């Protein structure tokens, strides 16, 4: 009798565990995380500060910078924000519009746009970040700008920029080997850094050094390429930057762009009457 009771109890527990497991599976399957960290909404409702019906979102009011309307497949839910994604302006270029839910307005409000075109093969590394003063709703309804939240974003970005340009810079500068070190800051962080601390004659050397250190880190070549291109946009005759940029392209296997930058480096060395003996041996070998 006791044995039968135990068997029945075990079956009940097994059944309950299966039900609980299935319930958990349903909940996790409602929002699927992709490799880039975005959460694709697969159910008709998503959890936010309060429940909203996904089908009720006014998609027609979400426009990219080309004026094209987004569709439902381009809407994501990330860290409490609605993120609208659209292609823009060039092949593979993307723009993300970030909306935060503000209970005081009972609406999702635009607070940031992020434009990204990282097509390294063509030498393009274009990043633009814009913060908005929380005044435009997702349904185009306008509100009084929320200066407090906008100021919080500004302070946060300033702190991050200071960290990169000072403590992070010093950390990398004093490390003997950066190959295993991960530079855990995004293109967005670097773009905001340049806004916060523009590339000028006073910051030029430090930016070039920062890019050089980043290039030595684990998977840091692409971010270094972005910084080098920003430097050359402001200072197109910066000799050493062409050498550094050529090395980055060579290291990631894009030899055509590497050679192009090496040749510019050699030409500037000659036109500025620099000592050609200082040109690294591998540069001559790679351009021939």
State whether 206 and 183 are in the same domain: yes
Q: Which residue has the higher pLDDT, 78 or 66?
A: 78
State whether 208 and 136 are in the same domain: no
State whether 121 and 161 are in the same domain: no
State whether 223 and 180 are in the same domain: yes
Residue 8 belongs to domain spanning? 1-28
**What tokens does 25 get?**
């599976």
Q: Is residue 91's pLDDT more than 60?
A: no
Q: Is residue 160's pLDDT more than 90?
A: yes
User: pLDDT category, 46, cuts 50, 70, 90?
Assistant: very low
Cβ contacts of residue 16 below 8 Å, gap of 6+?
A: none
User: Within the chain, where are the H helices?
Assistant: 2-29, 147-162, 169-174, 187-196, 204-216, 221-234, 239-251, 255-271, 281-287
State whether 203 and 262 are in the same domain: yes
Total structural domains within the chain: 3
Which CATH number belongs to the domain containing residue 236 in this structure? Answer: 1.25.40.10
Least confident interval from 5-9, 70-74, 201-205? 5-9
Q: For the chain, what percent of residues have pLDDT higher than 70?
A: 70
Q: Coil, helix or strand for 120?
A: helix
State whether 185 and 274 are in the same domain: yes
Residues 167, 174: Cα–Cα separation, whole Å: 11
Q: For 48-61, what is each residue's pLDDT tens digit?
A: 444 455 555 666 66
Kindly report the pTM of this predicted structure: 0.76
Q: Tell which of 127, 145, 163 closes a domain.
A: 145
State whether 157 and 275 are in the same domain: yes
Least confident interval from 51-65, 232-246, 251-265? 51-65
């Amino acid at each position: 009798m006791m044995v039968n009771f135990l068997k029945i109890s075990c079956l009940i527990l097994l059944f309950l565990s299966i039900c609980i497991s299935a319930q958990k599976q349903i909940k996790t399957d409602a929002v699927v995380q992709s490799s880039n960290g975005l959460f694709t909404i697969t159910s008709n409702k998503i959890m936010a500060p309060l429940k909203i019906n996904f089908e009720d979102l006014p998609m027609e009011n979400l426009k990219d910078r080309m004026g094209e309307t987004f569709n439902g497949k381009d809407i994501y839910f990330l860290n409490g924000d609605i993120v609208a994604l659209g292609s823009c302006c060039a092949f593979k270029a993307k723009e993300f519009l970030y909306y935060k839910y503000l209970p005081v307005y009972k609406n999702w409000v635009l607070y940031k746009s992020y434009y990204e075109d990282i097509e390294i093969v063509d030498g393009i590394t274009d990043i633009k970040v814009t913060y908005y003063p929380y005044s435009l709703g997702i349904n185009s309804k306008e509100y009084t700008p929320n200066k407090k939240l906008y100021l919080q974003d500004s302070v946060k970005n300033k702190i991050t920029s200071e960290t990169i340009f000072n403590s992070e810079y010093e950390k990398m500068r004093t490390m003997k080997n950066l190959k295993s070190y991960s530079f855990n800051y995004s293109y967005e962080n670097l773009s905001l850094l340049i806004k916060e601390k523009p590339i000028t004659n006073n910051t030029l050397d430090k930016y070039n050094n920062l890019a050089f250190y980043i290039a030595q880190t684990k998977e840091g070549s692409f971010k270094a390429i972005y910084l080098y291109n920003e430097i050359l946009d402001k200072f197109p005759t910066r000799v050493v930057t062409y050498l550094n940029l050529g090395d980055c392209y060579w290291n990631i296997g894009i030899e055509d762009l590497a050679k192009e930058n090496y040749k510019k480096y050699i030409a500037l060395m000659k036109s500025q009457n620099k000592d050609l003996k200082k040109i690294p041996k591998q540069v001559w070998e790679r351009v021939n």
